[in-house]
A and B are shown apart, each in its own frame.
Chain A
Amino acid sequence: MRQHLGPTLPSSEITPQRLYLARREFLGASVGALATAAFSANAFAASLAAKPGPFRAEDKPTAKEAVTTYNNFYEFGVEKDDPAKNAGTLRTSPWSIVVEGACDRPGTYALEDLYKPAELEERVYRHRCVEAWSMVVPWIGVPLASVLQKVGATSNAKYVAFETLYDKEQMPGQSRRVLEWPYREGLRIDEAMHPLTLLAVGLYGETLPNQNGAPVRLVVPWKYGFKGIKSIVRIKLQDSQPRTAWNVSAPSEYGFYSNVNPDVDHPRWSQKTERRIGEFRRRETLPFNGYGEQVAELYAGMDLRRNF
């Protein structure tokens, strides 16, 4: 297993702290720079303290520049650089999340009320996109399990359904029906409660940039990236398997589980290898994205070709 438990270097030492501070000083000193920054999606990223958490992949983290400029977030356009260009229209504060369904304390929660700042952990996860590219990201967040315990998920909660914000003003990409909006995702309850499953609010020592799913997103490192629903406004605990956006769009190509699996190809392309962003040669894709030791037992006895 290419990872180990326990505290190691926080990402503030991966990327020199001085660099961040210097940038901040520069921004603070220059009115012009501030004015420019107001138009960039990243303008309000604030530093975010977090204790080093478990599950830190030993892989070298992908450059922050790449993590924040190359991703899919169709709510802001279908090209990889669209989110970074267009996500400035998203207003992330205040932010509330509706929690409903099979739980003892349903209601509308302010994001801040779902976790305590002291609970925030940094975790370095491999991220594998279904398009056969990958990254390594130092996320900051809390285990989804802690939030589900807080709202008192009951035994009727067999699945968790998530929804992204649906607002064409803030998310211009939703004016075109590329997918069924709002974006929906879901997990089986044991997947949702698994210690690896993270509700992320930051990356690289700062609050999430808008383009990466601010202010709160899901990170499920053993599944393809699209399972990591962004800008979450609704969490529903239910007893039936939820609809998920890509499955609705192309059921033969994107299953509910979507576990990273080099042996089950996408119907149109191979999933055997991936290009790690920043590397030249492709690398082999690992079953469950290298997290098999932690999660394979969740799927014991299941046919993963049928349940792709």
Chain B
Amino acid sequence: MTKRIRDRVIYAVVWLACAAPLLFLVYWGLNDQLGANPITTGLRFLGLWGLRFLVAGLAITPLRGWFGWNFLQRYRRTIGLWGFAYVALHLLTYIGVDQFFDWNTILKDVLKRPYITFGMLGFVLLIPLAVTSTNAMVRRLGGRRWRQLHKLAYVIAPLGVLHYDLLVKADTTWPWMYAAILAVLLGWRVWQVRTRRAATRPVSA
């Protein structure tokens, strides 16, 4: 197997893995296997996978740093875009199925309910990242500016966790797990920047 074919196979596997939750959801939905409250179950499922892929996207740079898994880099865009897709489907389900286009209520929700405000803010911030995900856009922006813009992910993922935490009634174990993972992934970046600065600081006085 040539390297090119192998890369394509791996890419197809990653892509399918990202699509799998959606395929399962559609299958369960069509076979009436989403339980007594399929709308809420589906809505939560899409939101949770959106958050998982966004966190997975943020894990790639640290994993490269810790284990030298540089090959992960080429899947980061796929993972991030799938995260956006799940979040977008989550939002569309909320608007079109859960609230059935009751714009009045939706607007009130966004303004009045902090968990929806934070969730919506996270989605809006994701849009420029999705739009600038193509190679052509990376070239147009230039690598430096593109990287600056995509640091928005550091804000978006915590907004997602906050959105999740605020809707849970009593058992916030899972939201806190995601918060802890994010703290490690973002904390590592802060630590990297600090040590790099320390290393390049001119030795004087």
Within the assembled complex, what's the spacing in Å between the Cα atoms of A250 and B114? Answer: 17
Q: For the complex, would chain A's binding face be called helix, strand, loop or mixed by DSSP majority?
A: loop
B35 in contact with A69 (CB, 8 Å)? yes
Residues of B within 8 A of A70 (CB): 35-37
Identify A278's interface contact among B36, B40, B115, CB under 8 A.
B36
Taking the closest CB of chain B, its distance from the CB of A162, in whole angstroms, is: 19
B35 in contact with A81 (CB, 8 Å)? yes
Within the assembled complex, what's the spacing in Å between the Cα atoms of A70 and B39? Answer: 13
A275 in contact with B113 (CB, 8 Å)? no
A-contacting residues, B169-202, CB 8 Å: 169-171
Taking the closest CB of chain A, its distance from the CB of B39, in whole angstroms, is: 7
Residues of A within 8 A of B99 (CB): 282
A268 in contact with B115 (CB, 8 Å)? yes
Residues of B within 8 A of A131 (CB): 169
B170 in contact with A249 (CB, 8 Å)? yes
Residues of B within 8 A of A306 (CB): none
> In the complex, which range does the number of interface residues on chain B fall in?
20 to 34
The answer to the question of A74 belonging to the interface, with a C-beta cut-off of 8 Å to chain B, is yes
Identify B100's interface contact among A74, A277, A281, CB under 8 A.
A281
Identify B39's interface contact among A176, A178, A269, A275, CB under 8 A.
A275
B166 in contact with A268 (CB, 8 Å)? yes
Within the assembled complex, what's the spacing in Å between the Cα atoms of A70 and B98? Answer: 18
> B109 — nearest CB in chain A belongs to which residue?
A270
B170 in contact with A179 (CB, 8 Å)? yes
B100 in contact with A133 (CB, 8 Å)? no
The answer to the question of B125 belonging to the interface, with a C-beta cut-off of 8 Å to chain A, is no
The answer to the question of B134 belonging to the interface, with a C-beta cut-off of 8 Å to chain A, is no
Within the assembled complex, what's the spacing in Å between the Cα atoms of A2 and B166? Answer: 35
| Contacts known (A268-B113, A268-B115, A281-B100); A275 close to B40, Cβ less than 8 A | yes
B170 in contact with A178 (CB, 8 Å)? yes
> A68 — nearest CB in chain B belongs to which residue?
B36
Within the assembled complex, what's the spacing in Å between the Cα atoms of A70 and B34? Answer: 11
Within the assembled complex, what's the spacing in Å between the Cα atoms of A178 and B173? Answer: 9
Taking the closest CB of chain A, its distance from the CB of B90, in whole angstroms, is: 16
Taking the closest CB of chain A, its distance from the CB of B74, in whole angstroms, is: 37
A272 in contact with B105 (CB, 8 Å)? yes
Identify A269's interface contact among B35, B100, B113, B171, CB under 8 A.
B113
A69 in contact with B36 (CB, 8 Å)? yes
Residues of B within 8 A of A273 (CB): 105
The answer to the question of A296 belonging to the interface, with a C-beta cut-off of 8 Å to chain B, is no
The answer to the question of B19 belonging to the interface, with a C-beta cut-off of 8 Å to chain A, is no
The answer to the question of A78 belonging to the interface, with a C-beta cut-off of 8 Å to chain B, is yes
Residues of B within 8 A of A78 (CB): 170-171
A133 in contact with B109 (CB, 8 Å)? no
| Contacts known (A270-B105, A281-B100); A74 close to B170, Cβ less than 8 A | yes
Within the assembled complex, what's the spacing in Å between the Cα atoms of A249 and B80? Answer: 37
Within the assembled complex, what's the spacing in Å between the Cα atoms of A278 and B170? Answer: 26
Within the assembled complex, what's the spacing in Å between the Cα atoms of A66 and B34? Answer: 11
B36 in contact with A269 (CB, 8 Å)? no
B36 in contact with A65 (CB, 8 Å)? yes
The answer to the question of A80 belonging to the interface, with a C-beta cut-off of 8 Å to chain B, is yes
Within the assembled complex, what's the spacing in Å between the Cα atoms of A277 and B39? Answer: 10
Taking the closest CB of chain B, its distance from the CB of A253, in whole angstroms, is: 9
| Contacts known (A281-B100, A282-B99); A269 close to B167, Cβ less than 8 A | yes
Identify B114's interface contact among A133, A179, A268, CB under 8 A.
A268
A268 in contact with B167 (CB, 8 Å)? yes
Residues of B within 8 A of A278 (CB): 36
Within the assembled complex, what's the spacing in Å between the Cα atoms of A81 and B37? Answer: 11
| Contacts known (A268-B115, A281-B100); A275 close to B37, Cβ less than 8 A | yes
A250 in contact with B35 (CB, 8 Å)? no
Taking the closest CB of chain A, its distance from the CB of B102, in whole angstroms, is: 8
* Of B98, B113, B115, B169, most A-chain CB atoms within 10 Å: B169
A-contacting residues, B6-34, CB 8 Å: none
B170 in contact with A250 (CB, 8 Å)? yes
Given contacts A69-B35, A74-B170, 14 further A-B contacts (CB under 8 A): A66-B36, A70-B36, A178-B171, A268-B114, A268-B115, A268-B166, A272-B105, A273-B105, A277-B36, A277-B37, A278-B36, A280-B39, A282-B98, A282-B100
- Residues of A that sit less than 8 Å from B by CB: 63, 65-66, 69-70, 74, 78, 80-81, 131, 133, 176, 178-179, 249-250, 268-270, 272-273, 275, 277-278, 280-282
Pairs of residues from A and B, 4 with the lowest C-beta to C-beta distance, nearest first: A70-B36, A66-B36, A78-B171, A178-B171
- Give 19 A-B contacts (CB < 8 Å), ordered by A residue: A63-B36, A66-B36, A70-B37, A74-B170, A80-B36, A81-B35, A176-B171, A178-B170, A250-B170, A268-B113, A268-B167, A269-B115, A270-B105, A270-B109, A272-B105, A275-B39, A277-B36, A280-B100, A282-B102
